[in-house]
Structure 1
Amino acid sequence: MSRPGRGRNIRRPFGANPSSAFHEETDDIQVHPTLLKNARSSGQLNICGRNLTAVPKCVLNINIEQSPDAGNFTLDGNSERWWDQTDLTKLIMANNCLTTLPDDIRLLHALQVLDVHDNSLERLPDTIGMLLDLQKLELSRNQLTTLPSSIKELTNLTVLRLDTNKMSNIPDEIGDLTNLEDLDLSKNCLVTLPPTLGNLSKLRNINLSTNQLMTVPPEIGKIVQLKVLDLQSNQINMLPSEIGNLRNLDMLYLQKNKLTRLPILENCKSLKELYLSFNLINEISADHLAPLSQISTLDLRDNKLTEVPQEITFLVKLQRLDLTNNSLQSLPNEIGLMENLRNLQLDGNPIRNIRRDIMRRGTVGLMKFLRSRIQDPAADAPASPIMSTRKASAAVEPTATAVAEDVNSIHPHDVCHFKNLTYSNKQSTAILPDDVWEFAVKNRVNTVNLGKNCYTTLPSGMLKLVETLTEIHMGFNKLSSIPPEICKYTNLLYLDIRNNLLKDLPAELSEIVNLREINLSDNRFPVIPSVVYELKRLEILFVNGNKIEEVDVERLQQMPELATLNLQNNNISHIPPELALIPKLTFLQLEGNPFRTPRPAILAKGSSAVIDYLRDRIVK
């Protein structure tokens, strides 16, 4: 039984000439009938990666031509039934060799998604504007130099991707795409932007990176829904003050431009990440910092800053501050009081008031040093409840008597105000009395410093602080092992066990999932302990001064947050270039090893030069 006719939902586009749709296909590139059959049923067709040099006519005519057996009705249900056919709504032709789209693209009037990325398109036909239902247009990695003015007709478009083309200009008509939410124009040749860009009131994400822009139109400040603005790798030397009107902006990328100063981002109170590296900025003032109350990442590396204002401490949510390669000679001590700051990068600055060995201790050690320099009135110091308890005791153990004078050196003020219990540089093996630990528990101490003593194990009294302790300093002792109980310090962020007799670490250390910094230098490790690779939040690792001969670069690459790695003074004879592929590595020390490359002249240039050198040697 045969029944002629078309599917009930098949529409012919206005102005389409039926005679032009039914071309002879003797020279046409064919698409497998099963693909066409499925496309008529699902409304989706994927013909990517087929080396196509032209759009097949059977694809252009899929909404008009009828399958040979579409009118046949069979009981077995295998035939393509005319009433099940639907218009094509999604067409993917990526990774082919197309140099142009034909005018007859208009025949696919119901398209909502058109994806032709990774082709060789040099132009778009004016008829592209007849695809009125189009919502997503993917044109990345082609050879386009401009857009046709008919682009303005695509008012339902929400996503437009044009990155990696040869666009030298954007037509004013782009401002008519008022439903656009995601616009990618990165990696083109744009010198200017049309002011009509400000009409895109629904835009959430705009990527303009890697162009040749020197200015940004002030109208960009009208896009108040914008959350991500990427302007990195351009030639911008000044930003309009209107950019401060982007009250919903979350991320602002401005690195690798020619900025000498910033506008005050007065209303950008939602901004969480601000990237300004590789510019010419010579000043960040209190006025610049005041609106940035929500910021968590501030990247200012490779600029011309000569000072950091004390008001930076107002950024109470700041977690990462990168000041690498500036001209800073000092830092405000108050930075040490920034509770949420987890990563502070200062390499490449001529800082005079902080010793280099302190600079190399990493974020936690550096901030502790800055805190120690803050002068507090002595009158604030309370009477010592430790000594009061000691004097009230009728029976004093001999060991406690022997250390009574040293215990008196524990400053109650530091315990109460800085949450710091310090009993260091005594060359002692004495067990601190219980009342000392109880006083520390009462004041919720988060730092214990027992460095430069003669302890052979972690004091048992320290276990009383497992709920609050974030820093343990046990460097310069005689530890030959770390007990498995170390895993109980679940809130620990910093562990200093340098200058001991350690050869390995317990597997239980991996349970301290928030550990950010560990100092293992000057021990007897033959390799980086295996458990270290399990610490996925570790940012700073010091293993210098050990007996390490090889670097397990593959496992280091799996540490997503590692930013500082010190491998100095080991027995490493070969430095794998892949070391430069550690995702966030910015500080790398390799001196004092018996390798031949990198040469000392390269090592002397600092971490950035070493990392670049290694990256260039990776076989591609």
Structure 2
Amino acid sequence: MDVVYTSDSCDSDSREQKTVDLGHSNKRHLDDDLLRVSKSKKLAEDIETVLLNHNKLIRVPLSLADFTNLKVLDLSNNRLEELPEVITQCQLTTLIVKNNLLTDKSLPKSLLGTAGSGLKELNLSGNRFAHFPEQVIELRSLKYLYLGGNQITNVSKDIWKLQSLQLLSLGGNLITEIPETVGLLNHLHALVLCDNLLEMLPASIARLVNLKSLLLHKNRLRHLPREIITLRNLTELSLRDNPLVVRFVKDMTLNPPSLLELAGRTVKTCAIRYGVEDLPRTLIEYLHTANCCVNPNCKGVFFDNRVEHIKFVDFCGKYRIPLLQYLCSSKCVADTSSSDPGSEPSSSMMRKVLLG
């Protein structure tokens, strides 16, 4: 057993922090080792970090309750199937229990003991949770929440209550839907949703104005909310291994235009004058619905019949954004490649979809 003295760089007083490091001991039980430290009340009160990671622990040592000023507890990479109430008796700011055997029934009914009042980081990744642990919602001081690598199928609608949250990691689960309330996490900087079963995202994602990292790769996303284009602080975006591009390419089909469509195009492109004395009111209203082809080299129009085409443009100088454009004919698809890349069609003429 080592009692290691390290300097806490976040402490302006540069006071020394004491650490009990029993990691990588390859032991099933560490009670005796911890008891030897806790026998000295003064020494036990000084301990702020206990590292019990990479062992073979099947239960959490109850003697942890003797470390009354414990701030950081690392129980990762063990064989734990349960977290006892003793965890809530410690004044933890960081609790790491990743890569264990925890399930939906493994947590105490409440995490809001002494520990919960100031817990800022909770790592439960790499366990066997099937549902989002509701006990987490009580931890209002939480800044970093890691729940990746489980079998979680849902995200609590009460996630918005974690108003201090800056990082939410849910990658590697079985999540099919993200609640709209995630958009209320005003301080969120990083959102990890990769390797799930998502087919769509809520439009409320666009409210995350402080979001810098958004990881969505390895999902089933077929479209994204157009509002996502407003995330101006985004510096990291991952969308690979989604069917977005494939779907759009397959959907680029053209149906023969109707006689009404052809006649309407002729009237508009040839600038033929007409009035109420020439045409029925319904036809006049129809002609007013004409849309201009987004190809700047084409002066054509369309009504109901169009070709869908994807044009890639830059977004904040970092990503390539495909804009789903509506063209008047298939001939315009080839012509658009030589058009001015800076000329963006109006929002009413396209749906914006990020592909990364």
Fold similarity call, TM over 0.5: yes
Q: Please name the residue that 2:88 is paired with.
A: 129
Q: Please name the residue that 2:337 is paired with.
A: 333
Distance 1:143 1:331 in 2: 58
Q: Over residues 483-531 of structure 1, what are the superposed CA-to-partner deviations in whole Å (9 max), with x where a residue is unaligned?
A: xxxxxxxxxxxxxxxxxxxxxxxxxxxxxxxxxxxxxxxxxxxxxxxxx
* % identity of equivalent residues: 25
Q: Please name the residue that 1:151 is paired with.
A: 111
Say which of 251, 260, 275 aligns to 2:213. 251
Q: Please name the residue that 1:212 is paired with.
A: 174
Q: 1:313 to 1:135 in 2, by over 3 A?
A: same
Q: Contact 1:182–1:205 at 8 Å: present in 2 too?
A: yes
Q: Please name the residue that 2:281 is paired with.
A: none
How many pairs does the alignment contain? 259
1:97 Cα deviation (Å)? 0.3
Aligned ranges 1:352-431 → 2 under 5 Å: none
1:314 Cα deviation (Å)? 5.9
Q: Contact 1:313–1:334 at 8 Å: present in 2 too?
A: no
Q: Contact 1:61–1:107 at 8 Å: present in 2 too?
A: no
Give the number of the structure whose residues are more often strand, by fraction. Answer: 2
Say which of 8, 11, 19 aligns to 1:44. 19
Q: Please name the residue that 1:277 is paired with.
A: 240
Q: Contact 2:88–2:112 at 8 Å: present in 1 too?
A: yes
Q: Over residues 66-118 of structure 1, what are the superposed CA-to-partner deviations in whole Å (9 max), with x where a residue is unaligned?
A: 39xxxxxxxxxxxxxx7x87432100011100011144432222110001111
1:334 Cα deviation (Å)? 5.9
Say which of 31, 35, 54 aligns to 2:29. 54
1:177 Cα deviation (Å)? 1.3
Distance 1:335 1:155 in 2: 59
Q: Please name the residue that 1:467 is paired with.
A: none
Distance 2:4 2:198 in 1: 52
Q: Please name the residue that 1:138 is paired with.
A: 96
Q: 1:85 to 1:170 in 2, by over 3 A?
A: closer
1:308 Cα deviation (Å)? 1.8
Q: 1:322 to 1:160 in 2, by over 3 A?
A: farther
1:161 Cα deviation (Å)? 1.3
Q: Contact 1:307–1:331 at 8 Å: present in 2 too?
A: no
- The amino acid across from 1:318 in the alignment is K
Aligned ranges 1:558-569 → 2 under 5 Å: none
Q: Contact 1:308–1:332 at 8 Å: present in 2 too?
A: no
Aligned ranges 1:564-579 → 2 under 5 Å: none
- The amino acid across from 2:150 in the alignment is N
Q: Please name the residue that 1:387 is paired with.
A: none
Distance 1:245 1:91 in 2: 39
Q: Contact 2:313–2:320 at 8 Å: present in 1 too?
A: no
Distance 1:88 1:263 in 2: 49
Distance 1:278 1:331 in 2: 29
1:270 Cα deviation (Å)? 1.7
Q: Contact 2:49–2:73 at 8 Å: present in 1 too?
A: yes
Distance 2:223 2:341 in 1: 27
Q: 1:264 to 1:50 in 2, by over 3 A?
A: same
1:53 Cα deviation (Å)? 0.5
- The amino acid across from 2:66 in the alignment is L
Partner SS state of residue 308, structure 1? strand
1:246 Cα deviation (Å)? 0.7
Q: 1:220 to 1:330 in 2, by over 3 A?
A: farther
- The amino acid across from 1:188 in the alignment is N
Q: Contact 1:135–1:157 at 8 Å: present in 2 too?
A: yes
Q: Contact 2:31–2:63 at 8 Å: present in 1 too?
A: no
Partner SS state of residue 307, structure 1? strand
The reply on whether 1:173 has 2:148 as its aligned counterpart is no
- The amino acid across from 1:95 in the alignment is H
Distance 2:81 2:155 in 1: 21
Q: Over residues 311-340 of structure 1, what are the superposed CA-to-partner deviations in whole Å (9 max), with x where a residue is unaligned?
A: x536351356799xxxxx7584368857xx
Aligned ranges 1:444-593 → 2 under 5 Å: none
| Structure 2 segments unaligned to the other structure (5+ residues) | 7-15, 250-307, 324-332, 343-356
CA RMSD in angstroms comes to 3.0
Q: Please name the residue that 1:543 is paired with.
A: none
Distance 2:338 2:81 in 1: 57
Q: Contact 1:94–1:119 at 8 Å: present in 2 too?
A: yes
Length-normalised TM-score, structure 2: 0.65
Q: 1:334 to 1:317 in 2, by over 3 A?
A: farther
Say which of 23, 42, 48 aligns to 1:89. 48
Q: 1:106 to 1:265 in 2, by over 3 A?
A: farther
Distance 2:316 2:337 in 1: 15
Q: Contact 1:157–1:177 at 8 Å: present in 2 too?
A: yes
Distance 2:339 2:73 in 1: 51
The reply on whether 1:119 has 2:93 as its aligned counterpart is no
Partner SS state of residue 105, structure 1? helix
Q: Which has the higher contact order (CA 8 A, sep 6+)?
A: 2
Distance 1:201 1:42 in 2: 29
Q: Over residues 537-575 of structure 1, what are the superposed CA-to-partner deviations in whole Å (9 max), with x where a residue is unaligned?
A: xxxxxxxxxxxxxxxxxxxxxxxxxxxxxxxxxxxxxxx
Q: Contact 2:153–2:173 at 8 Å: present in 1 too?
A: yes
Q: Contact 2:45–2:67 at 8 Å: present in 1 too?
A: no
Distance 2:237 2:3 in 1: 49
1:49 Cα deviation (Å)? 0.8
Q: Over residues 346-405 of structure 1, what are the superposed CA-to-partner deviations in whole Å (9 max), with x where a residue is unaligned?
A: xxxxxxxxxxxxxxxxxxxxxxxxxxxxxxxxxxxxxxxxxxxxxxxxxxxxxxxxxxxx
Distance 1:187 1:268 in 2: 27
The reply on whether 1:194 has 2:169 as its aligned counterpart is no
- The amino acid across from 1:53 in the alignment is R
Q: Contact 1:138–1:161 at 8 Å: present in 2 too?
A: yes
Distance 1:273 1:265 in 2: 17
Distance 1:99 1:334 in 2: 65
Q: Please name the residue that 2:286 is paired with.
A: none
Partner SS state of residue 62, structure 1? helix
- The amino acid across from 1:278 in the alignment is D
Q: Contact 2:44–2:68 at 8 Å: present in 1 too?
A: no
Q: Contact 2:183–2:208 at 8 Å: present in 1 too?
A: yes
1:174 Cα deviation (Å)? 1.0
The reply on whether 1:66 has 2:40 as its aligned counterpart is yes
Distance 1:37 1:184 in 2: 27
| Structure 1 segments unaligned to the other structure (5+ residues) | 1-30, 68-81, 285-305, 324-328, 339-620
Q: Please name the residue that 2:318 is paired with.
A: 318
